[in-house]
Amino acid sequence: MEAAVTPAARLDLAGRHIVLGLSGGIACYKAADFTRELVKAGATVQVVMTQAAEAFITPVTLQALSNRAVYTSQWDAREPNAMAHINLTREADAVVIAPASADFIAKLAQGRADDLLSLLCLARPIERCALLVAPAMNREMWAHPATQRNCAQLRLDGAVILGPGSGEQACGETGDGRMLEPAELLAELVAHFQPKALQGKQVLISAGPTFEPIDPVRGLTNRSSGKMGFAIARAAAEAGAAVTLVAGPVPLATPRGVRRIDVGTAQQMFDAVMAAAPAQDVFVATAAVADWRPLALAERKIKKGAGRSVPALELTENPDILAAVARLAQPPYCVGFAAESHDLLEHARDKLARKGVPLIVANIGPATFGQDDNALTLVDAAGQRELPRADKLTLARQLVAEIAARLR
């Protein structure tokens, strides 16, 4: 029996060297957890701190978490050539400034370099060492025209602005300006390194189960967790696509950068998908849509009791979402999913023909519903290909690469 592969076992940043810069701000406390997450993801991390950052967190903490000595001064004597601002970025894949204060963003925008961190940002090999900036400041500072102007200049210069988030701030106010959480920063950095195979494409994805109500408290549904569909949404967004995710009732967090539409029933999912589909380049139907729904909805809870007969449940067929999209005058590239309990290839080939789509992704439903890993079989008119068992995000990235290759 194959061992399950969990997302924690995936080293998304293996082989990457990251320079993590901290400027002054209360969000420095988040940098400790972010450093730990980077190391867990397989990256080597070199921390560089400004003098202001040292007022919020000690270099000792970051050294313990990164397993590397922390640099704080451009005059650091440990470098044989006394050029830490040059040496620190020559092997780096990216410089990430988290937190980036309003003052430090202004320095970057103006090209000022009066400390080690701003020096190395200016001296980095710009063509191969990206600069990613995570703003962290009060909401009024973030909204100020000078800050917005400086961020716009950074984008024009090729930097990537991560966030900011919105919520309660240390000053007691609420609004935009919070630094993204460590997990969000990690996801953004991982996405930065993914190939942009779907850049400029519009991708529509359905995910999760549907819920077909019988009465106000009961309904027909299935065991789909939505994890595969959400993983594909994240992978497509990482690949540069504009992603719309139509999600059945699942408690999963929306992948960053993905537009989400929540629905309950198959009819609601049909309506949402059909409204969006004509503008899409790709439609991936991962949702486990109920084939039938009750013909009539009881207005009150159906009660049981002595002398009461078992109620008869009359069903009617739900609309076929995938087939309807495939029949559009100018359909997107359609990918269907077949979650079967037996005779996988036979049912997948039948679905390929019935739905009129170019690709079916087949799996054994009971073996994957609710799990973090899966194995997939890609079925098309030419044959089939196996994607061996892996965590669902790894499989999603492989599927996205396959779709991108077919679009080309």
What is the set of active-site residues?
A: 171
Among candidate residues 228, 240, 231, 233, the one with its CA nearest the CA of residue 191: 240
Q: Which of 119, 44, 129 is closest to 89 using CA atoms?
A: 129
Nearest C-alpha neighbor of 406 from the set 201, 124, 205, 136: 201
| Numbers of helices and strands, H then E, in the chain | 14, 19
Rg (C-alpha) for the chain, rounded Å, is 25
- CA–CA dist 55, 171 (Å, integer): 17
Question: Going by DSSP bridges, is the β-strand pair 165-168/174-178 parallel, antiparallel, or unpaired?
Answer: antiparallel
- Identify whether the C-beta of residue 96 lies closer than 8 Å to the C-beta of residue 142: no
Phi-psi region of 356 (alpha: psi -120 to 50; beta: other; left: phi over 0): left
Q: Reduced to 3 states, what is the DSSP secondary structure of residue 31?
A: helix
How far out from the chain centre does Cα 106 lie? Answer: 29
CA pair distance 199, 236, nearest whole angstrom: 9
Contact 243, 165 (CB under 8 A): no
